[in-house]
Amino acid sequence: MASKVIMPKLSPTMEEGQIARWLKKEGDKVSMGEPLAEIDTDKATMEMQALANGVLRKILVNEGESAPLGQLIAVIGEADEDISSVINEAPAKQTAPTPAPASAPAPAPSPQPAAADANGHARQAPAQSESGRMIVSPLAARMAAEAGLDLRTLHGSGPGGRIIKRDIEAALSETKPVPAFPRAVEPLRFQPAVVASASPYRDEPASEIRRTIARRLVTSIGPVPHFFLTSEIEMDRAVEMRRGINALDPDLKISINDIIIKVVASALIQHPAVNASFQDKFIRYYEHADVGVAVAIEDGLITPVIRSADQKSLSQIAAEVRELAERARSRKLKPEEYTGATFSVSNLGMFGIDEFTAVINPPEGGILAIGAVTPKPVVRDNEIVIRQIMRITMSCDHRVIDGATGAKFLQTVKKILENPLYLVV
């Protein structure tokens, strides 16, 4: 008897999945428990296993396409079994109407012979799914658009031939350098502006991570009443402590962010009203500090959790952050590793950002946004001196945290970071 393969629930917050890659093709034999496909969920890429023995008779959702939980995506049956009645139960695929382009339409992508690039190397044929659609990540599409690259000339190295970030970077590295201006430059002649029609555009399917981020932001910045508190911190002693620890044991590789996580965890235990979440009819207070650490990945953002960070040493936190961040970027985190934080930290200092505000990840009561550590002139004892200054901004859920409560929490964070020996008391 034919068995239905439906889109499974592979994470607690998953509402739909995107087929990253089919590990079997139509006509292949499959066994119960054998990996059948790789599914992009809202946070990670996970394997879907076959729940029946037989032959993969029909694939109904192609690579790069999405389906909601419970939708029929394939059929397993006997080689000569009639599966028409099962296939007829599947909902018809809905395709968005194709808008009329504002300019002459570009020809549809079609297989073309390999062409030579500027260096004489043969280019690969464009990556396409079985349905003929080009498979490209949203980040790669944006990078290609900004650089003026034709995606049809690229070969994808991601799952199922998907064009990803590294393919765009490789293509950009092959481009010829822009020649210098000649010595004699003619004066600019201004031409009357030509009014062009509206720009043509291309629609790319949003990844599951990006869709989840969009949904969660709607449930955060609107329903959650945010307010923000900012503080400046002298980081000279923390920077010196980090330098000293790493000099004693370079393998530890302690970062400023690791120190901040440890300090935040310590401050959360001292201020239990901040280590809490609003639960509609009650407020939940947590005994330990499970600190979420925002990590940027190709398609968006994920927040691995350092469990009981208040009870861990700096070396333990540093090793765990590195290991979780690496698996987050390769989309190998388990659901329990990126859900259930009691408070979060988001650091954009490494990108040269001095100050920003972060959006709370419900049901957490707050999130701390960390800016860059920058040498700045300050007045101390009526003298101008240079200090390593870092600005932090706390986003608070006003249903849980009042202004004075948040301010006292930041005072503790500031006190410990400016005097990190408190960590060993």
Say how far apart CA 140 and CA 158 lie, in whole Å.
11
Given the residues 155, 226, 288, 398, select the one marked as catalytic.
398
Where are the CATH 2.40.50.100 domain residues in the chain? Answer: 3-88
User: Is the separation of the CB atoms in 345 and 370 below 8 Å?
Assistant: yes
Q: What is the pLDDT of residue 188?
A: 56
Amino acid identity, position 364: E
CATH class for the region spanning 3-88: mainly beta
Q: Is 121 a catalytic residue?
A: no
The token duo for 43 is 């946070």
CB 364 within 8 A of CB 343: yes
What's the rounded Cα separation, in Å, for the pair 377 and 383?
Answer: 10
Residues of the chain short of pLDDT 50, as ranges, are 94-125, 129-131, 176-183
| CATH superfamily of the domain spanning 138-173 | E3-binding domain (4.10.320.10)
Contacts of 256 (CB under 8 A, 6+ apart): 235, 238, 239, 242, 349, 373
Q: Quote the pLDDT of residue 369.
A: 97
**Could you tell me where the beta strands, DSSP code E, fall in 145-201?**
none
Question: Where do the CATH 3.30.559.10 domains begin and end in the chain?
Answer: 226-424
Q: Out of 3.40.50.10380, 3.90.190.10, 3.40.350.10, 3.30.559.10, which CATH number does the structure's domain 226-424 have? A: 3.30.559.10
**So what's the pLDDT on residue 357?**
95
Are 264 and 275 within 8 A, CB to CB?
A: no
CATH 4.10.320.10 domain locations along the chain = 138-173
Distance CA 165, CA 145 (A): 12
Residue 146 CA neighbour count, 13 Å, CB half: 10
For the chain, counts of helices (H) and of strands (E): 8, 18
pLDDT for residue 112: 42
Query: Is the pTM above the cut of 0.95?
Result: no
